[in-house]
Every structure is written in C-alpha cells, then in structure tokens.
Structure 1
C-alpha cells in the first residue's frame, strides 16, 4: 500500500461514518492508534477494517468499524495514528490517504479471530440500552457518594470495574462492559438488531454500525485506566 496510499471510499456516507468512529475513539485517547486491514473484493472494490481499543477497564475492549472501498484495492495490514487518519479523511471526496505506519500497541498484535464464532443470542437493543443507562446512573451516584478526599482514580476505577464486570441480563454470557463499549462508540441505536457471539476466550457484540470484542481471562492492555461513559 506504500505506492498507493490513497483509498477511495464507496460514498460520502462511508467517509462520514469512519470520521465519526475515529472521533469517538480519540475522545477516549488523543494518542489512539488503529489497526487497518484492507481486503480486496472479488469483483473490485473491497473492505477496510478499522480496529481501535476502548480503555474501559481491566480487559481491553476492541471496536471494529468496516468501510466499503471502491476502485482498485490492494491488500494491506498496518497500524497508524487515529488522529492522523481522521485528518486524512476527505468526506466530500469520499477518500482518505493512509498515514505513515506507527509502532503498534500491544493490543494490535492480538485481534479477534475471523471464524469459529458460536451464537449466544440476539438481545433486544432497548433492553441492552436500558441496562447500560442504569449502570451509568449507578456509577454516577456511587461516585458522588464517595467523600471527595477519598475519590482517587484508583477508587473510581475499582467502582467502574465492579459495575461493568457484571453479567448483561439481556443475553447470557456477556458482561455489561461489552454493551457499555458498544454504547460509548455509538453502535447501540434504538431499533437496531444485535447479535452476540463467542469464540474461545473472545466475546463479541455485533450491530449494523460495527462490532465490539472482548478477550476474557486477561488481555493486552489490562490494568489501564477506565473512561466510563458519562
């Protein structure tokens, strides 16, 4: 991809959706990196998969947004700055220019598998959103109840981790953390269909706008700070 760093997107909507996704990632981490995988299509065009990490507690949650590509597409796999990629998105022209690769963070070396996923269920999005909102409200309330002189980052992180580690009632097998991540990145929207899956230690929640995946039992980046949705 070095000789042809520009990618043509399928339309302006794809460019706008990619820009919104990158903007949300940067809200959590201004120095965020994303791993990109460009896959050519059999009849031209192709897909660009964009992976980013959401720092939401003791286990790294990954968010995936796919973007439809047009024109000639060469296979590529690289890690770049999310901020530089966002700056390169030309929404009116429906194109982007790939920034220079960066040294990838540890999470970028361990992505969810492409196959082997087993269905866990199709949780109703309204119930999932209700659970996330209730958990956010509890986090705010309990944080406010902690005396200010005891409200350290460690205390707040431990409280958030306790809440988001609970099981999601709308579907068996997923923690609230996964739904929280999907909500924080903008994938949960009223009326959209959801699907939950498991593959080995990985859990995944799919929505039309993208997917979030969590590696259970510890993952690269474990122990980093929390950024609870407010």
Structure 2
C-alpha cells in the first residue's frame, strides 16, 4: 500500500485540503476515504448517514484528483489528519503523506458502483443552492427549539424531493430538462453539493442513476445518494 500520494501540483493539494476542511465543518470528527488506483485519487466523505441493512439515505461527497505517480491505496483516515497535512504554509509541494491513523466510518463500507450510469437529465445549480439554504434554515430553527430532539425534523427536511422543498422555482418553470414529475432527487443531495462547495452559480448539475444510486455531477465534484 502506498504511504505517500504525489498529486500533480501544489494547487491540487490545496484543493484537496479545502475539500477536507469543508467536510470537517460538517463533522469535526469525520473521516475521508482515500482510494488511489493508477494515476487517479478518489477522495470520499460522508455527509448524511444511511439507515438499515441497505444504508438507505446515505449521502456521500466525492472529488477526484490526478496523481503525478501511480499509486494503490484504500484507507479511511481522520479528516483532521488530512487538513493538518495540507495546511502547512510555505511547503510548496504536492505530496500528501498518508496518515497512519485509521478512522471508523459506517458509510465507508457502502461503495457506489463504478457504472454504468444512466443520464436522467439536468437540474439548475441555483435551484439546489436555494433548496440547501431553505433546508439549513429549517434545521437550524429546529435545533434552537428542540435541541437533541431535532433529528426527526432534520431527517424529514433532507428526505424531501428538491422540487417540493422551495415550491415553484423560476429555474424549473423556465423549462429545465428535468421536469417536475421526472427523477426524484432528495434535498440531502442539494445540501451536500452546497456545503461541499460543488455548485457554481448559473451552472447545470447532471443527474444520473445506477441501480439504487443517484449521482449529481456538479462543476466542483460529485454527490452520490442511495
């Protein structure tokens, strides 16, 4: 197993660090799964946990990075260890020493398929951002009012279809390729794409399906939902 990942340049290493920092803002003690095969590194993070034997409701974030040297690795490590190794000022390098500490993450046992992925259409990134902001406001208010009992509200908010989360939306009414009765996309996917910084204003997010999985492919990365 590789103990050092050499990314293509320092900018890519910084990008990986920002991704890890955003994920850590969602879960301070969270984990990242580093999967390297050949010259590609797949970096996975968990956003929302699933439940039951099939882990229904799981929402994952994924970024891929080019490697300057081929590597083989599959390790789940603490997010804090990744941010520590990507935040050293003035290093100017592109090397990521693989953290020796391993982390436990239930979502890491759930591996989405590599494909084939069936294209289902597109959704406006602005719609997903609006859904995420509305949901965050609801969850924040529930936490203020109910404290630890806000979990049921949180689950309900992120389980909604994105087209139900904000009511009629101008981007959909203008004629997006995914209509109001087509593929269901949970609001939890919008939350993940927004929180991880994947959405660009005015852009389009592709929606794909493979068996029980839905994938959102945005300019900044991928969200996978089961």
Q: TM-score, normalised by structure 2?
A: 0.79
Taking a change above 3 Å as real, the CA distance of residues 101 and 117 of structure 1, as seen in their structure-2 partners, is farther
* Residues 7-52 of structure 1: per-residue CA shift (max 9 Å, x gap): 2211222111100111111112222221111121xxxxx1110111
Distance 1:66 1:83, change over 3 A: same
Matches within 5 A, 1:1-230: 1-2=1-2, 5-40=3-38, 46-55=39-48, 59-70=57-68, 72-89=69-86, 92-100=92-100, 102=102, 104-140=104-140, 146=145, 151-154=146-149, 156-169=150-163, 171=178, 172-215=183-226
Can you give the 5+ residue segments of structure 2 that lack an aligned partner in the other structure? 52-56, 164-171, 173-177
The offset of 1:201, in angstroms, is: 1.4
Contact 1:168/1:175 (<8 A) preserved: yes
Counterparts of 2:112 and 2:121 in 1: how far apart (Å)?
Answer: 19
The answer to whether the 8 Å contact 1:55/1:61 transfers is yes
Residues 17 and 113 of structure 1: is their aligned pair in 2 closer, same or farther, counting only changes over 3 Å?
same
1:100 is paired with a residue whose SS is coil
Q: CA 1:136–1:56 in structure 2 vs 1: closer, same or farther (change >3 Å)?
A: farther
Aligned residues: 201
**Two-structure CA RMSD over aligned residues (Å):** 2.2
Partner of 1:224: none
Q: Is the 1:120–1:173 Cα contact (8 Å) retained in structure 2?
A: no
Change over 3 Å in CA distance of 1:126–1:163 after alignment to 2: same
CA contact (8 A) 1:62 1:212 kept: yes
Instruction: Give unpaired runs (5+ residues) of structure 1.
Output: 41-45, 216-230
Shift of 1:54: 1.2
| TM-score normalised by structure 1 residue count | 0.78
> Taking structure 1 as reference, are residues 96 and 117 closer, same or farther at Cα in structure 2, changes over 3 Å only?
same
Write the deviation string for residues 42-87 of structure 1: whole angstroms up to 9, x where unpaired: xxxx1110111113676231111111111x3122222222211222
